[in-house]
Structure 1
Amino acid sequence: MDGQRLPGGPLEDVEQLGGGTQNILVAFRRGGRRYVLRRPPRHPRPKSNEVLRREARVLAALDGTGVPAPRLIAACPDESVMGGAVFYLMTAVDGFNATTTLPEPHAGDPAIRHRMGLEAAAALAALGAVDHVAVGLADFGRPEGFLERQVGRWMSELESYSSLEGYPGPDIPGLDGVASWLEANRPTSWRPGIMHGDYHLANLMYAFDGPRVAAIVDWEMCTIGDPLVDLGWLLATWPDEERGELSGPIGIAGGLPSAEELVARYAEGSDRDLSAVAWYTVLACYKLGIVLEGTHARAFAGKAPKDVGDLLHSITLGLFQRAHAYIAS
C-alpha cells in the first residue's frame, strides 16, 4: 500500500466479511479510508490466482463506465507477496444483499421490492452495453464460437461426474430433449460483450435508502461472450411462487416484477436483439442444472453432504421443468 502511495498508518477496524464460498474478503481502514481486500482461499485452487488477476482487470476496466461495481484501488498480481496468493484492494460497498437480509424500507414496501427487480435488469443492461474493446478487454475471452460450444461443453461436464464412485448417473427427465432443442434453435447472430457469468440476486448489493443496485459483486466467472446469457441466467434463477424461499428474505417477501417486466426493462437500456430470450433462459436452466448436479454426484461419493446434494438435485429437476415450460411457450 505504501508503494502505491495510499494513505499510511495502522490497519484499523479489520473484519472478515461473509459472502461467497471460496475467496476471502477482509474489510479494514487505513489513513481514514475504507478498503476491502480480496484474495483466494487459504488453500488456493489451481486457478485461484489467475481468477483474481482477471477480476482485478475487469474492475479496473469498468471504472468510469457507470456499471455499478466495486472500484479497483490497487492490485498485487505478484503471488509471492502474500505467501502464494494474488490479492487486490477495492472500494467498500455501502449496501446489503437482499438474499440474506431485507431492511426497511425495502421489507415493508412492495413497490420498492418491485423496483429492485427492475434495477437488477437495468444494471445488467448497462454491463451489456459496455464496449469491451474500448475498455481494454479485447483479449479477455474467446467469443468466437461461444454459443456453439455451450451445449457440448456442459454435457461433457455432466458426463464427467460418472467418474465419482457410487454416482449412478444423472436422473434428469428431459435432459436430452433440452439439449437437442438448444442445438436446433441456437441464435445465428449475436454481438460479443462483457458477461458477468453468474448474474442473480445473491450477487447484487442494494442501496440502503432505496431500490438502486449499489454494486454487482463476485466477478470470478466474468468473460467475453454473449451478454444475453446473463439475462437468461437472471430469468432462470428469478424467484417465483414455488421457489421464493430459495432466494431468502426478498424471495419470501415477494412483490418482484415478472420475467416479462425484467426483459422489458433490460430492453430499455439495450439495443440487443431479444427475440431469442427464451433460448438464453433455457440455456441457463440447462447449464445451472448441470452445475448443481455436480454436488449431487459428489454426495454419492461422500464428498458433499447428502442433504445438500438432494436439495440441489431437486433444484436441478425444477430448472429442467422451467426449461421445458419456456420451450413449450
Structure 2
Amino acid sequence: MLGMSVVQPVEVDRDVVDFAIVGKWMDEQGLPGGEFTGVKPLGGGTQNIMLRFTRGGRDYVLRRGPKHLRTASNNVIRRESRILGALDGTGIRAPKVIAACGDEALIGAAFYLMEPIIGFNPQTELPELHANDPEIRRQMGLSAVEAIARLGSLDHEALGLADYGKPEGFLERQVPRWLSELEGYSANEGYAGPQIPGLERVGDWLDRNRPAPARPGILHGDCHLANMMFRYDGPEVAAMVDWEMSTIGDPLLDLGWQIATRFEPGTTGASLVGSLGAVGGLPAPEEMAAHYAKFSDRDISQVTWYTVLACFKLGIVLEGTYARASAGKAPKQVGDFLHAITLELFEKAHKLMD
C-alpha cells in the first residue's frame, strides 16, 4: 500500500502519530496520496497535539489527545469531531473536519483531520494592523461576541446533537459540580487545598440568584479570546477553536465567559491573550451584552449572574493545574500563574455581586 511507504517525519515521535498508518488510513478514506511534507507541530491548547502537514497537494491539521492520554482524552476528540461535523454548513466560524478516526487502536488515540485555519491567535501574535488600531481591537471583541451569539441560536436538535449534552438542570448542577471537582484536587499530594477567598460566598450567591431555566443551546464552553483565531486583514473571527468543553446547556454562560475573561491591562489574566491583553481596547461588558442581543433573542437581563458563574467555574478549572503543579505533575511556574488568575476571577466575582 502507498501509505506504508511513508517516511516518518523526524519532528514527530512514531508513538504520537505513525505516519505510515495514517497514510494508509487516508488512502482508505479516498484522500490524495503521496508523501507527507511540511510537517509542523502547532501550538494552541495545553493538552492536545496538533500537527500541520501537506499530502497530495492538500493541507491538513491532525488533532489528537496528549502523548500521555488522560481518561477522557479520546472521548474529547470524538466529541470535538462530532460537533465540528454538525456545525459544517451552518455558517458558524469553526474548523472544518475532513475525516475522523474514532478507533483509538489505529495509532493509540482517536484523531481527526481538519482544514488549516488562515488567521492568527492573539495569545501568540498581534499583527501590525490590529496592534496599532484600537477600533480594530474593539471590533475583534464584538466579532467574538457575535460568534457565540450565533452559535447559541442554532437548533441543536435539528443538527443531530440532541444527546450531545444534558441540558435538563444544567444551571442547577453547576455549583455542586464544580465544588466537587475542587474537592477532588485534594488527591494531589502537596496541594494544601483551595486558598480562594470568598469561595463559599460566591457559590451561595449563585445558588440564591439562579435564573429560571432557559431554552437549551450549544455552548463552546471555553470561549476566551485565546481560543479564537482572527483574520489577518480585519477584526473578524476566522474560527473558534478548542471545542473540548462544548456541550448543550444555557448558551448565556458563553457570554458570561467572554466578559469574565476580558482582563484589564496590567492584570495577570491579561497575559492569556498576549499583546492584545497588554494594549487593551476591547469593548466594555455593557457593549458586549448589547451586541450579543443583536444576534440572539435570549433574555440578557441577568448577564451579571452568568459572568459570576463563569468566574467561579473557570477559576476552579484553572485551580486544577495549580493542584497538579503542587504535586509535581505540572510546571510550578504555570501552576502559580493560573492560581493568580483564579484569585483575580474570584475578586471580579465579588465586585459583580456587591
2:201 maps to what in 1?
177
Residue 286 (structure 1) shift: 0.7
User: 5+ residue gaps in structure 2?
Assistant: 1-25
SS of the residue 1:28 aligns to: strand
- Larger relative contact order (CA 8 Å, sep ≥ 6): 1
Give, as a single letter, the amino acid of the residue that structure 1 aligns with 2:306: Y
Aligned residues: 327
Give, as a single letter, the amino acid of the residue that structure 1 aligns with 2:149: A
Task: Summarize deviations over 1:144-163 as a string: whole Å, max 9, x none.
Answer: 11111100011111222233
CA contact (8 A) 2:182 2:316 kept: yes
In the aligned structure 1, how far is the partner of 2:340 from the partner of 2:103? 42
Give, as a single letter, the amino acid of the residue that structure 2 aligns with 1:172: I
Residue 9 (structure 1) shift: 2.3
SS of the residue 2:296 aligns to: coil
SS of the residue 1:27 aligns to: strand
CA contact (8 A) 1:239 1:247 kept: no
CA contact (8 A) 2:266 2:278 kept: no
CA contact (8 A) 2:65 2:73 kept: yes
Q: Superposed, which structure 2 residues align to 1:230-249 within 5 Å?
A: 230-243=254-267, 244-249=270-275
1:65 maps to what in 2?
90
Residue 71 (structure 1) shift: 0.6
SS of the residue 2:28 aligns to: coil
Which of 52, 56, 59 matches 1:31? 56
Residue 43 (structure 1) shift: 2.0
SS of the residue 1:2 aligns to: helix
User: 5+ residue gaps in structure 1?
Assistant: none
Residue 263 (structure 1) shift: 1.0
CA contact (8 A) 1:117 1:257 kept: yes
1:281 maps to what in 2?
307
In the aligned structure 1, how far is the partner of 2:105 from the partner of 2:272? 40
| Residue 54 (1) aligns with residue 73 (2) | no
Which of 120, 130, 135 matches 2:159? 135
Residue 114 (structure 1) shift: 0.9
Give, as a single letter, the amino acid of the residue that structure 2 aligns with 1:120: A
SS of the residue 1:106 aligns to: helix
1:255 maps to what in 2?
281
In the aligned structure 2, how far is the partner of 1:2 from the partner of 1:311? 44
Distance 1:127 1:77, change over 3 A: same
In the aligned structure 2, how far is the partner of 1:171 from the partner of 1:17? 34
1:40 maps to what in 2?
65
2:216 maps to what in 1?
192
Q: Which 10-residue stretch deviates more, 203-212 or 22-31? A: 22-31
In the aligned structure 1, how far is the partner of 2:318 from the partner of 2:143? 27
In the aligned structure 1, how far is the partner of 2:64 from the partner of 2:330? 24
Runs of 4+ more than 6 Å apart: none
Task: Summarize deviations over 1:232-270 as a string: whole Å, max 9, x none.
Answer: 111111121342344211111221111111111111111
Task: Summarize deviations over 1:293-325 as a string: whole Å, max 9, x none.
Answer: 223333333333444333322222211110011
Distance 1:127 1:276, change over 3 A: same
CA contact (8 A) 1:24 1:41 kept: yes
In the aligned structure 1, how far is the partner of 2:61 from the partner of 2:219? 23
| Residue 324 (1) aligns with residue 350 (2) | yes
In the aligned structure 1, how far is the partner of 2:199 from the partner of 2:310? 13
C-alpha RMSD of matched pairs (Å): 1.4
In the aligned structure 1, how far is the partner of 2:250 from the partner of 2:263? 23
Residue 176 (structure 1) shift: 1.2
Q: TM-score, normalised by structure 1?
A: 0.95
* Identical counterparts, % of pairs: 64
Task: Summarize deviations over 1:85-141 as a string: whole Å, max 9, x none.
Answer: 111111110000012110121111111111101001011111111110011101111
Distance 1:46 1:189, change over 3 A: closer
In the aligned structure 2, how far is the partner of 1:36 from the partner of 1:305? 27
Which of 341, 344, 348 matches 1:315? 341
1:209 maps to what in 2?
233
Distance 1:280 1:133, change over 3 A: same
Q: Which 10-residue stretch deviates more, 221-230 or 295-304? A: 295-304
SS of the residue 1:68 aligns to: coil
Distance 1:250 1:302, change over 3 A: same
